[in-house]
Structure 1
Amino acid sequence: MVLISQLTNHRVDLEDCTIFYQQSRLESSSIPILFLHGWGISTEPYTEVLKLLALSHTIIAPDLPSFARSSYSKLIPDYVSYSKILLSFIEVLDLQQFHVVGHSLGGGIAITLSTLVPEKVRSVILVDSTGIPAPSIPEMIPRRAIEMTVQMFLPRHKLKLVDIPLVFSYNLLFNTGNVIQGLLISVYEDISHLLPKIQAPCLLLWSDKDLTTPLNNAQEMAAIIPNSKLITVEEGLHEWALWYPEKFTSLILNFISQLD
């Protein structure tokens, strides 16, 4: 499928942080989608996903504070701190309502954000999300090693050999503190107490082979979040959405279309 690029790069200068983001053309007829990427990378590896979503919706996809182009010199200690920075970003853009999609670390932020401004959040879509403590880092390392090895045999060579390694290496080199802190937040911070407070309809999308945030995490979340629905896929692992963008985006758009 040939996609016409509909994404342009923008920046917002906040008091102590610059947020770079990708945005598709503004569509007054639809509620925009705020897309929050996963740990250690940026919006760049999600480009195909964002372009597919942008065919029918306004997309706003920031590089999270201190990742890639979004400069931030301080250590970000928790999900609330990420969310408050993004709230300032949202206020500058004057977003009155939005759907929020969060993958991995972005999911934990989406959970928190949706409880801070419930009146603005039309729906929450959590993709292999953090938020419930995962196995410890020593347990996580071999699991991630297995996932990364399996993904080397998947298609999309540029994604696995160029896009992800480049942005992760950049973050590890230039944003070391928040790469490490982000990992600690993802693995250890428990925000399960926020799950009952999510007021918007919630879709959980999960690979049943995810070793990083196991399926039982999704099942626990779905049991706690009111008005939630869990859909599992057989494809991929923790990053399945990157390797199967057509399936991923169709599930998101089907869910949103029922609300809009």
Structure 2
Amino acid sequence: MKSQLTNHRVDLQDCTIFYQQSRLESSSIPILFLHGWGISTEPYQEVLKLLAQHHTIIAPDLPSFRRSTYSGLLPDYLSYSKCLLSFLEVLDLQQFHLVGHSFGGGIAITLSTLVPQKVRSVILIDSTGIPTPSIPEMIPRRAIEMTAQLFLPRLRLKLVDIPLVFSYNLLFNTVNVIQGLLISLYENINHLLPKIPAPCLLLWSEKDLTTPLSNAQKMAAIIPDSKLITVEEGFHEWGLWYPEKFTSLILDFICQLEQY
């Protein structure tokens, strides 16, 4: 099994991108995996290793999060996407499946419209991109979700791994962590949804209070070649608590596409 992930970095003009990669396989189209707001690839290790048993995985820490540095302010999804485009040019990726969770989903939507010829599929998991309620409205929703998630599996992930990464980002990447939250809540990229060029899977928890299921339904109605799958399992970060189900749904979708 080719599930071993190794650490790499690419130095660009104004940023350094740290990324994890499984062994490159010429027979499969790689998966570019974009993590959610405030964290990094670290909490997704189980997910990435399961995906890497079947596909080449390239999973960067987003610019200015954890081990990827950036010298200035990243004001919008487009800025993140342009950084990743420079990163992809160095890697010389000709085609890839694009997977984005939450904030990574908003970036995935934008990136897919910039290089449509390279994107084989887009998989959006509880994605941002449609504005959600204000911060005062969001705080109680997140409080309910985070309390409820304490009763789900993988307690160490919730109580140790995620808080460590998040606190690091908050301390050392403060400006872009706060700006990233504002982008997640308020930036509207509805106009890009009809331009998503590739088959698109929307994967959503029915209990998500952060990016509610109604957002997924709006997206599915606008994205041309899209399919919405909902799960009963827990809340906005459900994929981290249920990695087997999460990865099997992603891999099933990709497998069906690659058969044609």
TM-score range, shorter chain: over 0.9
Aligned to 1:71: 69
Written as runs of structure 1 = structure 2, the 5 A alignment for 1:240-251 is 240-251=238-249
Alpha-carbon distance in structure 1 between the residues aligned to 2:2 and 2:250: 20
Alpha-carbon distance in structure 1 between the residues aligned to 2:71 and 2:3: 32
Greater than 4 Å deviation, 4+ residue runs: none
Is the Cα contact below 8 Å between 2:16 and 2:70 reproduced in 1? Answer: yes
Task: Report how far residue 36 of structure 1 moved.
Answer: 0.1
Written as runs of structure 1 = structure 2, the 5 A alignment for 1:6-85 is 6-85=4-83
SS at structure 1 position matched to 2:69? coil
Aligned to 2:135: 137
Q: TM-score normalized by structure 1?
A: 0.98
Aligned to 2:190: 192
Task: Report how far residue 5 of structure 1 moved.
Answer: 5.1
Task: Report how far residue 71 of structure 1 moved.
Answer: 0.7
Q: For this pair of structures, how many residues does the alignment match?
A: 258
Q: Does 1:109 align with 2:107?
A: yes
Alpha-carbon distance in structure 2 between the residues aligned to 1:5 and 1:131: 31
Alpha-carbon distance in structure 1 between the residues aligned to 2:21 and 2:160: 23
Look up the equivalent residue of 2:8 and give its one-letter code.
H
Task: Report how far residue 162 of structure 1 moved.
Answer: 1.3
Look up the equivalent residue of 1:186 and give its one-letter code.
S
Unmatched tracts of structure 2, length 5 or more: none
Alpha-carbon distance in structure 1 between the residues aligned to 2:156 and 2:238: 15
SS at structure 1 position matched to 2:244? helix
Aligned to 2:252: 254
Alpha-carbon distance in structure 1 between the residues aligned to 2:28 and 2:172: 37
Look up the equivalent residue of 2:203 and give its one-letter code.
L
Alpha-carbon distance in structure 1 between the residues aligned to 2:249 and 2:163: 27
SS at structure 1 position matched to 2:70? coil
SS at structure 2 position matched to 1:199? coil
Identity of aligned residues (%): 86
Alpha-carbon distance in structure 1 between the residues aligned to 2:105 and 2:24: 24
Task: Report how far residue 259 of structure 1 moved.
Answer: 1.0
SS at structure 2 position matched to 1:122? strand
Alpha-carbon distance in structure 2 between the residues aligned to 1:120 and 1:76: 24
Is the Cα contact below 8 Å between 2:5 and 2:49 reproduced in 1? Answer: yes
Alpha-carbon distance in structure 2 between the residues aligned to 1:17 and 1:239: 28
Is the Cα contact below 8 Å between 2:130 and 2:215 reproduced in 1? Answer: yes
Written as runs of structure 1 = structure 2, the 5 A alignment for 1:142-157 is 142-157=140-155
Aligned to 1:172: 170
Aligned to 2:85: 87
Is the Cα contact below 8 Å between 2:3 and 2:50 reproduced in 1? Answer: no
Task: Report how far residue 4 of structure 1 moved.
Answer: 7.9
Alpha-carbon distance in structure 2 between the residues aligned to 1:135 and 1:231: 24
Is the Cα contact below 8 Å between 2:16 and 2:68 reproduced in 1? Answer: yes
When structure 1 is superposed on structure 2, of 91-100 and 147-156 the one drifting more is 147-156
Unmatched tracts of structure 1, length 5 or more: none
SS at structure 1 position matched to 2:132? coil
Deviations 1:36-86 (A, max 9, x none): 000000000000000000001000000000000001121100000000000
Task: Report how far residue 161 of structure 1 moved.
Answer: 1.4
Aligned to 2:226: 228
Alpha-carbon distance in structure 1 between the residues aligned to 2:122 and 2:207: 22
Aligned to 1:120: 118
Look up the equivalent residue of 2:21 and give its one-letter code.
Q
SS at structure 2 position matched to 1:68? coil
